[in-house]
Amino acid sequence: MPQARNLRQSLYFVFFYYTIMFQSHSDHIILVEMLFKVGLPAYLQSRKHLLRIYAFTIILELSKDVSSCTSSFFIPNRHFHSQMLYYTRRPRDLAFGLLNFRKGFFSMERIITYTISTGDSGENVLGFLRKKGFSKHILTTMKRAEQAILLNGQPAFGRTVLKEGDVLRILVPEETGDGAESSIIPVPLPLDILYEDEDILVLNKPADMPVHPSAGNYENTLANGVAWYYKQQGKAFVYRCINRLDRDTTGVLVLAKNPLSGALLSAQMKQRQIRRTYLALTDGIPPKRGTISAPVARMDASVITREVNFERGEAAVTHYERLAVSNGYALVELHLDTGRTHQIRVHMKYIGCPLPGDFLYHPVFDRIGRQALHSFQLEFAHPITGEPMCFLAPVPEDFRRAFAQ
């Protein structure tokens, strides 16, 4: 690092090498406003230098009173909790203090405490965590976090051997800002929250709401609403949707709130341990019950439309049971072994009983204006506690009205 001739230059050099990361476009707007206030040269206002300049503007504010050995500083309008940054005269202390300050505000870190049982006695920490589902990636991020592993209140290492009765405290760090999540725009959209704890968020998704942003859908998705929800709480946001639903499919879905719960729920999904129950209306009366095993593939010359294709399709299995019949429509309960795109819609059309209101596969809108498909029930084991969880989403009014007509 170059030699600094004064405190401000020293602080600038420190932050030149210890970059602070930010979350969204709104951060850059705030930054530009600060640039004009402190009068930095215009050429530094380019996006290339935003991160370093923002750190520098903070330093300029902090260093106004360098005679004070310890002072405090708040960043206004940053959706932070009322935490305080303390700094000393030494630039290195200030740099690392700000870095830790940033982590504390942005990260939705999960702390899990385990009491070691007789069966786990003699296992080392690393082996124990792997048995609990900690992936290699999560373990790597823990190495970069301070005091990520505490055994009986003291720092421990992967090879530390556990004894019965030991209390193991694990911090699961969150990483934000590096993926697509950083580009999700927070938008105040209504959320129907069925359940929330430290690890999962269970929602009842309405119709006409995509789950993920895509071309033409940047501010109207479930991800936008969830981003706003956590922004209001000053928490980090990494969008992990475990069971995805089509835009016009309503009902229950679960989001993972930290890397560990996300990894464990994804593993349950791959191992078919998450039981998904759907309700659908069909235009036509299917047999009382049955199983559809027909591979699904993307249709030629189409980006979105799927079809049953036994030559190049991916395996897809749907189980169904007819529950009731009304005016030529059937109310059907469905369970999936696989999760192919549009699987239920394609399979029911394949057996001659398409879903009404489906603009791709059966555009008949006389009784309902969207595909009559509802994620009614979701069952899984809680990713951390292992407790059986079961959530139900009420059947929407348009669905009930279409069947009753």
> What is the set of active-site residues?
246
What is the rounded distance in angstroms from the CA atom of residue 279 to the CA atom of residue 154? Answer: 52
What is the rounded distance in angstroms from the CA atom of residue 157 to the CA atom of residue 17? Answer: 29
Phi, psi of 156 (to 5 degrees): -130, 170
User: Is 404 strand, coil or helix?
Assistant: helix
Tokens for 115?
């009491």
| Sequence-ordered list of residues with C-beta below 8 angstroms from that of 116, at least 6 positions apart, any chain | 128, 162, 163, 164, 165, 166, 167, 168
What is the rounded distance in angstroms from the CA atom of residue 208 to the CA atom of residue 362? Answer: 17
Largest CA-CA distance found in the chain, in angstroms, rounded: 85
Q: What number of other Cβ atoms are within 10 A of residue 280's Cβ?
A: 26
Of the candidates 182, 183, 180, 157, the one whose C-alpha atom is nearest the C-alpha of residue 170 is 157
DSSP class per residue in 53-87: HHHHHHHHHHGGGTT-SSEEE--TTS---S--EEE
Please identify which residue in the block is written with the tokens 């051997």: 161
What is the rounded distance in angstroms from the CA atom of residue 196 to the CA atom of residue 326? Answer: 37
What is the rounded distance in angstroms from the CA atom of residue 281 to the CA atom of residue 376? Answer: 13
CA distances, 380 to each of 63, 137, 301 (Å): 53, 24, 38
Phi, psi of 182 (to 5 degrees): -65, -20
Q: What is the 3-state secondary structure (H, E, C) of 243-306?
A: CCCCCCCEEEEEEECCHHHHHHHHHHHHCCCCEEEEEEEEECCCCCEEEEECCEEECCCCCCCE
Please identify which residue in the block is written with the tokens 């059937």: 330
> Which helix (DSSP H) or strand (DSSP E) does residue 155 occupy?
strand 154-155
